[in-house]
Amino acid sequence: MPMTASEIEAMILAEFPDAAVEIRDLAGDGDHYAARVVSASFAGMSRVRQHQAIYAALKGKMGTDLHALQLETIVPSGDH
Amino acid sequence: MTDAATRIGDLVKTNDVVLFMKGTPLFPQCGFSSRAIAILDRLGATYETVDVLQDPEIRQGIKAYSDWPTIPQLYVKGEFVGGSDIMMEMFESGELQQLVTAEA
């Protein structure tokens, strides 16, 4: 079952209220997205941990409902 | 430890650079796996691949092993490095080159 961009954004924001989230629908099919998440809470975390934190926020939907999510996590400049 | 975890442990310990992917380097079955292979080839890395589509036990097991929900997954010297997005970021920053060619 695919997800909408706003559902993805809402799930990420629920865990990372400070985040700037940008979702792009890559293929226009509601199944291939790119997400760019900027949050100060990523500071000090490895890239793997940052992505894992997003996957955790998506509560098991990644790899099931959501097959294709290109993910970019960013620490705001000045925070690291 | 499950049987799959033991097998995965052996694979990542006996190969310096190993990519768990969908399909093979010549015929990747997913855009993300294809991108991962393109990055490794561009770096001139020597690597092994495991086609998870041929092995349902590994396909499920690898997600638990790394606590990572998607494939491809890259391991270097037994350590989980990340999926294709992280590989791309590390490729662009030059970090991946250092990691996969440190032996040479």
The full set of domain ranges for chain B reads 3-101
Q: Residue A48: enclosing H or E segment and its boundaries?
A: helix A47-57
Share of chain A above pLDDT 90, in %: 65
> B49 with B25: CB under 8 angstroms?
yes
Q: Identify the CATH number of the domain in which residue A9 sits.
A: 3.30.300.90
Summarize the confidence of residues A12-22 as an average pLDDT.
95
Residue spans of beta strands (DSSP E) within chain B: 17-21, 48-51, 73-76, 79-82
Side-chain half-sphere of B100: how many Cα atoms within 13 Å?
26
| Per-residue model confidence as pLDDT tens for chain B (104 residues) | 679 999 999 999 999 999 999 999 999 999 999 999 999 999 999 999 999 999 999 999 999 999 999 999 999 999 999 999 999 999 999 999 999 986 54
Question: Which residue among B32, B63, B86 places its CB closest to the CB of A51?
Answer: B86
Residue A63 has a pLDDT of 78
Supply the pLDDT for residue A79. 44
Q: Is residue A79 part of a domain?
A: no
Strand partners of residue A25: A33
Whole-prediction pTM value?
0.87
Residue B1: per-residue pLDDT:
60
pLDDT at B57: 95
Residues 20-39 of A with CB under 8 A from B: none
Among the partner-chain residues A47, A60, A63, the one whose CB lies closest to the CB of B70 is A63
**SS3 state of residue A35:** strand
ipTM over 0.90: no
With a cut of 70, say whether residue A1 has pLDDT above it. no
Most B CBs within 10 Å, among A42, A51, A54, A59, to test the B interface: A51
Task: Write down the residue that tokens 């970090």 correspond to.
Answer: B95
Can you give the pLDDT at residue A30? Answer: 78
Q: Do A55 and B85 touch (CB under 8 A)?
A: no
Sheet with A20-25, strands from edge to edge, namely A20-25, A32-38, A68-74
In this structure, is residue A80 part of a structural domain?
A: no
User: How far apart are alpha carbons A69 and A64 in whole angstroms?
Assistant: 11
In chain A, how many domains are there? 1
| Whether residue A80 has pLDDT greater than 60 | no
Domain residues for the domain of A24 are: 5-74
CATH number of B3-101: 3.40.30.10
Q: Flag whether A42 is in a domain.
A: yes
Contact by Cβ (8 Å): B94, B87 = no
- Say which DSSP state A66 is in: B
Strand (E) positions, chain A? 20-25, 32-38, 68-74
Pick B67 or A31 by higher pLDDT.
Answer: B67
| Parallel/antiparallel/unpaired status of strands A20-25 and B73-76 | unpaired
pLDDT of residue A13 exceeding 70:
yes
Pairing of the two strands A68-74 and A32-38 = parallel
Would you call B85 and A72 a contact, using CB atoms and an 8 Å cutoff? yes
User: A67 pLDDT band (50/70/90 cuts)?
Assistant: confident
Give buried/exposed letters for B21-32 (b at 16+ CB in 10 A, else e): bbbebeebebeb
Kindly state whether residue A31 falls inside one of the protein's structural domains. yes
A60 in reach of chain B (CB within 8 A): yes
% of chain A beyond a pLDDT of 70? 95
